[in-house]
Structure 1
Amino acid sequence: MVAASAAVLLGVVGCTPSQAVSTPAASGAETLPFSHVHGVGFDPGDGALLVATHDGLFVVDEAGDANRVGPVIDLMGFVVAGPERLLASGHPGPDVDLPEPVGLIESTDGGRSWDPVSRQGESDFHALATGDAGILGYDGELRRSTDGVAWEPADIPAPPAALAASPTGPEVLATTSQGLLRSADGGATWSEVDGAPLLQVVAWGEDGATVAGVEPSGTVWVSADGAATWQRGPETGAPVQAVAVGSADDGAVRIAVVTTEAVLLSEDDGQTFEALTGL
């Protein structure tokens, strides 16, 4: 599963790219083919890498080519909910017949088309998560739903920049300026995660154990035990915009990180990253 970033938590500090982040073997693009990335995710059906942006949804292939899918919608909150099933929020683009804001919208064809679900004209969810706990969204207030239609408000100690829900239990993570928060009851109550790094974005893997997060400055962190303990990974060399965790056909963990300069992919549990596009 994937969670989308909302607002920058801290002032961004520049850093030098680690040797664990490599540029593409081919020359590739010098800049990102899209701007204002709000979310990223892997489709569990075909493994496609999906990037939600100010200008709509893009699929980035292994060669680094990015192709837009579907209408131009400023996808703010974004989460992959299953094979070709996506949930999002944001603002309609020109000639898109959706209210402003779009509320919660759903695609069941991999983003080629979108249908309204709830809170049209009311909510612009800047953070979304879905998992065993249901759907959580933040539009200035944290809201919970079991079906995406009926919502109830929930309390949280600090505004979340990103939300991530476990696919195998009721646990939810939230990145905040106060630190990483965990809920063991689907977002009803929250507590600080002791010893966790201060993260801008966070994502929960399909295995229910792998969690990846990135600091505002771009340092990657990976947990193999559901965010209980963390292993520091490479520095991406640029401020982060979004992160996702997926699985390869052989069961290996894939991690995608989108910075302001590149789309990075790791296929070795976050130990090394290769730039698919950008840099």
Structure 2
Amino acid sequence: MPFPPILRPRLAAITTVAALMLALSACTPSSSTPASAPASPSTSGAAAGMPSAHIHGLSVNGETGRVLLATHEGLYDMSKKPAVKIGPANDLMGFAPAMDQGVFYASGHPGQGSSLPGLLGLIKTSDGGKTWEQLSRQNESDFHALTTTKSGIVAFDGTLRTSIDGKTWKTVDAGFVPAVLAGNPYSDTVLATTQEGVQRSSDGGATWVRDKSAPLIQFAAFASAREAVGIAPDGTVYYSADAGATWKQTGKVTGEIHAVAATEGTDGNPWIWAASATGLMVSTDGGTTFRPSDAD
């Protein structure tokens, strides 16, 4: 089944969506920072204050309970009630958490009135999105797919590139166009979802192998260095206990999915967050079932 147009990486915009509903308690484990126990999503109602926006990325932090949404209009903290916009209104096309708290990488386009270059290249925040510094490839790259690994950064701007420090880059002759790049700061395994199937790298994006036995996955995310989840074009959810080497089907999520994040669970089942056109859904059983994040 081909991917819908919204996931082809060179498109400049994704379908406009309504404000997402979300409020989370503290102490949910992060996809970038392993933790011992997740807290239940809050049931206190919708997070107001965020305009309709194009969604490009989703991050759930387990140590702080913070949920960040990267959009066409900037970065939003969806764990606040109402939702709080953080920092400048840049179009964050690519967005990825790093190992350290509050550190994120992004790419895209400047917001209205910004003095930043037309192509942001790679930018970095160390204060949770309040301020950003320009690292490299300004006016050269708009990374629509972006992730971090134990050894550096993997990104795609029409060409697949890797970087150890975010400043100097190596070109990778991969031969595929990724819709999503999924990595984890505690591992050098990277997954790339493509029209032809899942590509997998075990060396930080330097070399790749397509797994012909893997399901066709649109979105992928790591809950830990070993646990990965994937969502197919029809919403079928898959789980991998070995960093994408093998997969098993767990359930199905409905709606037009725009971004996915995952965290470790306490019972061997990762928690999965999926941002759709109507709100944020969460699964606490590895993707077997989903419910709105504000449901009782």
Instruction: Note if contact 1:133-1:172 (Cα within 8 Å) is conserved in structure 2.
Output: no
Structure-to-structure mapping, 1:140-219, within 5 angstroms: 140-206=158-224, 208-219=225-236
Which whole-Å CA distance do the structure 1 matches of 2:93 and 2:182 have between them? Answer: 15
Instruction: Note if contact 1:35-1:53 (Cα within 8 Å) is conserved in structure 2.
Output: yes
Match of 2:111 in 1: 93
What is the aligned residue count? 257
Match of 1:262 in 2: 279
CA-CA distance at 1:90 after TM superposition: 0.3
Match of 1:108 in 2: 126
Which whole-Å CA distance do the structure 2 matches of 1:159 and 1:168 have between them? Answer: 25
**Equivalent AA in structure 1 for residue 253 of structure 2:** T
CA-CA distance at 1:6 after TM superposition: 7.6
- 1:53-101 CA-to-partner distances (Å, cap 9, x unmatched) read 11111112287x5321111010001001131101000011013231111
Match of 1:229 in 2: 246
Unaligned residue ranges in structure 2 (runs of 5+): 10-41
CA-CA distance at 1:173 after TM superposition: 0.8
CA RMSD in angstroms comes to: 2.8
Instruction: Note if contact 2:197-2:212 (Cα within 8 Å) is conserved in structure 1.
Output: no
Instruction: Note if contact 2:93-2:107 (Cα within 8 Å) is conserved in structure 1.
Output: yes
* TM-score (normalised: structure 1): 0.82
**Equivalent AA in structure 2 for residue 221 of structure 1:** Y
* TM-score (normalised: structure 2): 0.78
Structure-to-structure mapping, 1:1-12, within 5 angstroms: 7-8=7-8
Which whole-Å CA distance do the structure 1 matches of 2:138 and 2:119 have between them? Answer: 6
Instruction: Note if contact 2:65-2:79 (Cα within 8 Å) is conserved in structure 1.
Output: no
CA-CA distance at 1:111 after TM superposition: 0.8
Q: 1:117 to 1:155 in 2, by over 3 A?
A: same
Match of 1:19 in 2: none
Which whole-Å CA distance do the structure 2 matches of 1:95 and 1:59 have between them? Answer: 22
Instruction: Note if contact 1:56-1:75 (Cα within 8 Å) is conserved in structure 2.
Output: yes
Higher strand share: 1
Q: 1:250 to 1:45 in 2, by over 3 A?
A: farther
Which whole-Å CA distance do the structure 2 matches of 1:108 and 1:29 have between them? Answer: 25
Unaligned residue ranges in structure 1 (runs of 5+): 10-23
Structure-to-structure mapping, 1:57-96, within 5 angstroms: 57-61=75-79, 65-82=82-99, 83-96=101-114
Q: 1:140 to 1:109 in 2, by over 3 A?
A: same
Which whole-Å CA distance do the structure 2 matches of 1:251 and 1:97 have between them? Answer: 47
Q: Percent identity?
A: 40
